[in-house]
Amino acid sequence: MNRRDELVDGLESTEQRIGAACVAAGRDRSEITLVVVTKTYPATDVELLTELGVTDVGENRHPEAQLKLEELRALQADHVGALPRWHFLGGVQTNKAGAVARYADVVHSVDRLKLANSLSRGADAAGRVLTCLIQVDFASTGPSAGDGGRSGVTPAGIPELAAAIAGSDHLALGGLMTVAPLGDDPAPHFDHLARLSIDLRRDHPDATIVSAGMSDDFEPAIAAGATHLRIGRSILGERPSAG
């Protein structure tokens, strides 16, 4: 089986799961954006995915994300059609934030004021407005508390960070993101994120994105109201070694 056929199969099987989860949750498929996570996969995979109708891809590491986007532009130089929206999903070092702000369309992992300020300066220098999501960490408040958890702010830290992002001329507050704590049932955390999104939208009505759910847990994310799913392995297969 060639690579295109593998990706077709991965997309079809994933779409079947998404569709079934939407039916179970009483939701419409059009409410959900699929972000295909292409970290460690080649730019040729991204090119094939765009040909197959994928509009959003996600990357976790700089400079891999930047270099892959440049390679994709070169691959598509002779093609007609838009590049996918580029979502940055991983942790961002403050000294790399300016570079990320120049090429990412959405950053899902804003977890501190210093990072928001650095992204704002980078977007300003690039003459663009960057959509940012606040990454929420539930590990410190759930059964896995004390296990190191994920990056992110606690729920109590959302309002201050949201105000800082919304107050920047070069950032747009898109909403919230989380990664379920390792070893926990993800459903209660995704439900909690949805409730936090309702709270956030009282002060920031346009912050409608709820980014939650990956290959192993996107069904409960859909049930909770996720608007964006971040799915890699289920579509692209087992991840190649990063070397």
Q: What share of residues in the chain are helix, strand, coil (percent, to 5)?
A: 45, 15, 35
Rounded Cα gap, residues 173 and 233, in angstroms: 28
The tokens describing 196, both together, are: 């936090």
Q: What is the pLDDT of residues 86-105, one digit of tens each?
A: 999 999 999 999 999 999 99
Give the three-state DSSP class for 108. Answer: strand
What pLDDT is stored for residue 243 in this prediction? 46
The beta strands (E) that lie in 165-239 are given as 171-178, 209-211, 228-231
Residue pLDDT, tens place only, 111-124:
999 999 999 999 99
What global pTM score does this model have?
A: 0.94
Is pLDDT above 80 for 8? yes
- The C-alpha R_g of the chain, in whole angstroms, comes to 17
Alpha-helix runs per DSSP H in the chain: 3-25, 43-51, 64-75, 97-103, 113-126, 158-166, 186-203, 218-224, 233-236
Task: Of 70, 75, 79, give the one whose Cα is nearest residue 99.
Answer: 70
Determine contact, residues 165/173, Cβ cutoff 8 Å: yes
Least confident of 57-66, 84-93, 150-159: 150-159
Distance of alpha carbon 194 from alpha carbon 84, whole angstroms: 27
Write down all domains in the chain, each with its CATH number in brackets. 3-236 (3.20.20.10)
**Counts for the chain of helices (H) and strands (E), in that order:** 9, 8
